[in-house]
Amino acid sequence: MTNPTWWKEGIIYQIYPRSFQDTNGDGIGDLAGIAARLDYLVWLGADAIWISPIYPSPMADFGYDISDYCDVDPLFGSLHDFDHLVEEAHRRNLKVILDYVPNHTSDQHAWFAESRASRSNPKRDWYYWKDPNPDGGPPNNWISNFGGSAWELDPGTGQYYYHAFLKQQPDLNWRNSEVVAAMSDVLRFWMRRGVDGFRVDVLWHLMKDAEWRDNPPNPAFREGQPDIERLLQVHSADQPEVHGIVQHLRRVVDEFPDRVLIGEIYLPIDRLVTYYGRDLSGAHLPFNFQLIQSAWIARQLAALIREYEAALPAGGWPNWVLGNHDKPRIASRIGRPQARVAAMLLLTLRGTPTLYYGDEIGMENVSIPADQVQDPWEKNEPGLGFNRDPQRTPMQWGDEENAGFTIGKPWLPLELRFRERNVKAFAADRNSILVLYRRLIALRRRHKALTIGSYREVESEGDVLAHERAAGGEVILVALNLGREAQRLKARGRGTGQVLLSTLGSREGEAIHAEIEIGPDEGLVIGYGAAADAGPIEADPPEGGG
Ligand code: TEU
Ligand code: CA
């Protein structure tokens, strides 16, 4: 494979900073907390951490509403704490990826204060201001991602401003060259401080229709879906002009060596892959959320993996995501036994895996009492199941009070069973999901076939999902059973294989001949040729860390 680099071979671990580790007892995680847990991430085998926003923010959308792009919110610490974190991470060979939120600022950002001050303010055009419709209503029919009109009337100047998310998150005008310049300097500011790359928030939203045409109705809309689904987002996102901006961001990132540009993009596969850009001049990794969005059905997953692999541009590096702070926890979505199978899939597919904090201990959605709801989306569109708090609860480190997350009152409640389900207990249990994750990561690191090898779908039926990875003399067969009944898979033509790892932890070392029996909810990694020589991966593999 051409030009392997850390963001191709490595594993990205997403940290939601409010919920990882609190060090000052305010019930909210902080940068010092992340620094204190870096050794855990090395032990697990992570190569990079992506930290959700840490910048000064009124926290209307928990940091995705930024009032200063070049500082740290006191809740999380200081620039000094940040520099310390980067230094400690780099000392351990961990890369640091920041969240970059270019689509909108907070309405408390100084830029917006100026912009709204008067129609003639030099920064007026930094945001999208439009006159009311002749009837006084909003300029077009666009809907906010969090429900209701995407337009807010500013009484002071008599115009509406556009916000794709909360009204506290006015959209920046990326057609304005001063905005482009100012936001480019933000990237440089953090890269100079040693940041290794960025996850770009809602990258496909950065350009809107130049004529602000109404979006057409969505004929498939049903009550109970998010308000935004009433319309097809034909004119409000994924505009052809966005690729010029993506390319520009990439050029800025390329001013510094070995940095990565990741894009958050919720689009169908054929649209998603356009974000690699012509001749790969766009994002290195347009986030691939197919595993999050698909039902957990073997045939459906096989089809989408096939479609994704086929759609990738030449040289475009794939990536896979199982969970994030916006989506229900994988263990709740597909059940605890299948969460182990999912881990094996995530860590054996071709492409960079992104792992959401807590998924490695099988954290589940935590139900949030109505009076403790934090998520603004839930507050805007209550009771329909859109609350994102359940997947943002504190990390479960141990069996002590508040699972070792805080000595104060946690900002969200902990999972009820944290006393059994936590890092400390699971690290000591060789059959835990945590040890499985650690072994999978170690296995992946050990075999070129898994990190940078070729991918081939293996023909299978029913609940079986199977694929083969190969590099040099190594051949690795991954056979997953997504169902509750034992299955068989033909495995002729590869010689005798050896089970390197089972999600059930029971069959390592077993010889595999012409046919494989896969138990209920079982996943197997089978090595052939040079891949078998190394033998099964131990329950306590040597530490990762690059
Ligand atoms: O999320 C964008 C986003 O589009 C999702 O919340 C979305 O509405 C849904 O998941 C698509 O299916 C990003 C951040 O990840 C999220 O936390 C922020 O609230 C949002 O942008 C605004 O910045
Ligand atoms: Ca704190």
Q: In whole angstroms, what is the distance from residue 293 CA to residue 198 CA?
A: 23
Per-residue pLDDT tens over the stretch 160-172 = 999 999 999 999 9
Q: In whole angstroms, what is the distance from residue 28 CA to residue 90 CA?
A: 24
Q: In whole angstroms, what is the distance from residue 411 CA to residue 385 CA?
A: 20
Please give the pLDDT value at position 3.
Answer: 67
**CB 61 less than 6 A from any atom of ligand 1:** yes
Atom 16 in ligand 1: which residue has the minimum CA distance?
326
pTM passes above 0.95: yes
Q: Do residues 394 and 410 lie in contact, with contact meaning Cβ atoms separated by under 8 Å? A: yes
**CB 266 less than 6 A from any atom of ligand 1:** yes
Atom 4 in ligand 1: which residue has the minimum CA distance?
202
Which mutation among 202, 203, 204, 379 tests ligand 1's pocket best, with the greatest number of atoms within 8 A of CB?
Answer: 202
Enumerate residue ranges in the chain where pLDDT < 50.
Answer: 1, 545-546
238: helix, coil or strand? coil
Ligand 2 geometric centre to CA of 30 (Å) = 5
Q: Which residues are the active-site residues?
A: 201, 255
Please give the pLDDT value at position 1.
Answer: 45
In the chain, what is the greatest distance between 2 CA atoms, to the nearest angstrom? Answer: 77
Q: In whole angstroms, what is the distance from residue 456 CA to residue 498 CA?
A: 19
Pairing of strands 511-512, 497-502: antiparallel
Ligand 2 geometric centre to CA of 354 (Å) = 25
Q: In whole angstroms, what is the distance from residue 33 CA to residue 87 CA?
A: 14
Q: Do residues 411 and 63 lie in contact, with contact meaning Cβ atoms separated by under 8 Å? A: no
Please give the pLDDT value at position 541.
Answer: 83
How buried is 338 (Cβ within 10 angstroms: 0-12 exposed, 13-18 middle, 19+ buried)? buried
In this structure, what are the phi and psi dihedrals at residue 112, rounded to the nearest 5 degrees? -75, -35
- SS3 for 60-89 is CCCCCCCCCCCCCCCCCCCHHHHHHHHHHH
Per-residue pLDDT tens over the stretch 447-506 = 999 999 999 999 999 999 999 999 999 999 999 999 999 999 999 889 999 999 999 988
325: helix, coil or strand? coil
Query: What ligand has the least distance to the C-alpha of 25?
Result: 2
Reading the block at residue 502, the tokens are 């089972």
Ligand 2 geometric centre to CA of 73 (Å) = 11
Cα(first)–Cα(last) distance of the chain, in Å?
19
Per-residue pLDDT tens over the stretch 362-412 = 999 999 999 999 999 999 999 999 999 999 999 999 999 999 999 999 999
Please give the pLDDT value at position 546.
Answer: 45
